A and B are shown apart, each in its own frame.
Chain A
Amino acid sequence: MSESLEKLQNRILSDAKHKADETIKDSQAKSQQILEEARRRAQRESEEIIAKANVEAESIRRSILSSKVRVNRLRILDEKNRIVENIIHSVEDRLSSISKSERFEETAQRFVTEAVKAVDTDQPVVRIGFRDVSKRSLDGIARVLPKGGKLVVDEKPIDDLGGVVATDPEGRVVFNNTFKSRLERLDNQLLTLISSTVFGE
C-alpha cells in the first residue's frame, strides 16, 4: 500500500508540475505575442505620425511660401501702380500746359466741336477754360460754334486741368469734354497703353 501511495503522490506532483510548466510556457508565448503586437503597433503609429508630419511640413512650407509670394506680388503691383501714376501725373502736367503748344487752338476747336455735337442743339452754351489762356486767344474758337451758340470763357482751367463743357440752353444736357473727363473716359485704354509701352504687357 505504501508503494502505491508513493506512486500516487508522485503522479499528483508530476501532473501539477506539468500543468505549471504549461502555464509558464503559455504565458511566455503570450508575452511574445504581446511584444510583437506592441512592436507592430509602434511601427504603425510611427508611420502614421511621419505621414502626418510630411503633410504638415508641406502645408507649413506652402503657407510660408504663399504668404511671401503674395507679399511680393503686392510689392510688384504697388511698384507698377506707382510708375503708372507717376506717368499719369506727367500726362496731366503736359495736358494742363497745352496752351503753350502750337496745337492748342486746333485741339480746343476740336474739343468744342465734339462737345457741341454731343449736346446736339442749335443754341449750345460752351464753357471753355485752360491754364494760361486769355480770352483774346480764344477768339478763333467762336468760329466753330453754330450761330446761336454762346461761348463762356473761364479764367481758370475747368476741372483743374482745363477743357470744354457744353450744355443745351436749359442746362439739361451736359457734355463734359475736359481733360479730366477724357482721362476718366479713356482710363482703361490709357492704362493698357502705358503698361504696354513701359512694361511690354
Chain B
Amino acid sequence: MSGIDAVKKIVETEAQARRIVDEASAKAQQIISETREQAERIRQEAIALVLQQREEILRGAKNKAEVEALQSDKETEQILNTYRKLSEERKATAVSKAVELILNA
C-alpha cells in the first residue's frame, strides 16, 4: 500500500470516527430534549392533580362554612324565639317599671 493510500485510509477512518462522535452527540441532545419534555409533562401532571385537590379543598371549605352558617341561623332563631317569649312574659313588668321611672325620676 502506498503512503497516499495509507493517508486516505486514515482520513476515512477519522471521518468515520467523527460521524460516530457526532451521532452520539446528536443522540445525547435528543435524550436531553426528550427528557426535558418528559420533565415538563411530569410537572404539568402533578400541577393538574394538585389543582384538583385545591378545588376540593375550596369546595370543602365552602360546604363546611355553609353548614356552620345554617347552624348560626338555627341558633339565631332560638335566640329570637327566646326574646319573643321573654317579651311576652315580661312586657307588663317592663312597662310598669318604665312608667315609674318616668314619673318619679
Contacts and interface: CB of A to CB of B under 8 A. Distances in A.
Contacts of A21: 24
A31 B28 CA distance: 9
A28 B31 contact: yes
Given A5-B1, A65-B69, A57 B29 contact: no
A61 B98 contact: no
Contacts of B45: 42
Contacts, number: 206
- State the majority secondary structure of interface residues on A: helix
Nearest to B28: A27
B102 A197 contact: no
Interface in B17-62: 17-18, 20-21, 23-25, 27-29, 31-32, 35-36, 38-40, 42-43, 45-47, 49-51, 53-54, 57-58, 60-62
A31 B105 contact: no
- State the majority secondary structure of interface residues on B: helix
Contacts of A13: 13, 16-17, 20
Contacts of B69: 64-65, 68
B25 A72 contact: no
Nearest to B98: A91
A160 interface: no
A38 B42 contact: yes
A80 B57 contact: no
Interface residues of A, number: 74
Contacts of B29: 27
Contacts of A41: 43
B21 A20 contact: yes
A80 B33 CA distance: 73
- Give the 4 A-B CB pairs with smallest separation, nearest first: A20-B24, A38-B39, A16-B17, A27-B28
17 contacts: A13-B17, A24-B28, A38-B38, A42-B42, A42-B43, A45-B46, A62-B65, A64-B65, A64-B68, A69-B72, A83-B84, A87-B87, A88-B98, A91-B102, A98-B103, A190-B98, A198-B94
Interface of A: 1-2, 5, 8-9, 12-13, 15-17, 19-21, 23-24, 26-28, 30-31, 34-35, 37-39, 41-43, 45-46, 49-50, 52-54, 56-58, 60-65, 68-69, 72, 75-76, 79-80, 83, 86-88, 90-91, 94-95, 98, 103, 107, 179, 182-183, 186, 189-190, 193-194, 197-200
